[in-house]
Amino acid sequence: MQRQHGFTLLEVLVALLIVSIGLLGLAGLMTTGLKNNQSAWQTSQANWLAYDILDRMRANRNVALAGGYNYTGTPTGVAATDLNGWGQELGANLPAGTGTVLVTGGVARITVTWDDTRGLGLLNLAGTNAGTHAGKSNRTLVIQSQL
């Protein structure tokens, strides 16, 4: 009687199948983690940028209280420089980033909007998943603060 040493080919193939299924699951978890990390980074950037313009407004408080930072008016002087710089930072740091500022009654309302398509894991390819999520990829952060 001959004793068997080692594994049969079938045992090796079954073990390889089990390991590959586990690795595919791990790859899916990594992809989800990367998307969530990207979305969290963009939210942090939006928060930082909102507080940036709020700090600029507090440094120029009298103009801000008079409505000089509102987008409904035409900003001049330091307010115009601050808003133009802020708009450029929004566009540079957030995909399709835009923002609005409105000061009424000494309360500043700052709204930052950006495209979070990548964070949602949506594809921008024509005809691929784009129509089913139209309009759902925009994220908005609103901060209100007393000046």
- Distance in angstroms (rounded) separating the CA atoms of residues 74 and 96: 23
pTM: 0.70
- Bridge partner residues of 98 (DSSP): 113
The pLDDT of residue 7 is 75
The pLDDT of residue 94 is 92
Who contacts 118 (Cβ-Cβ below 8 Å, separation ≥6)? Answer: 35, 38, 39, 95
Q: Please report how many Cα atoms fall inside a 13 Å half-sphere around the Cα of residue 30, on the Cβ side.
A: 6
Query: Where do the domains of the chain lie?
Result: 9-146
The pLDDT of residue 15 is 92
pLDDT tens for each residue of the chain, 147 residues long: 667 777 788 888 999 999 999 999 999 899 888 888 888 999 999 999 999 999 999 999 999 998 888 875 566 788 888 898 898 999 999 998 989 999 999 999 999 999 988 665 544 444 444 444 455 688 999 999 998
Q: How far is CA 138 from CA 23, 68, 121, in A?
A: 33, 28, 13
- Bridge partner residues of 113 (DSSP): 98, 140
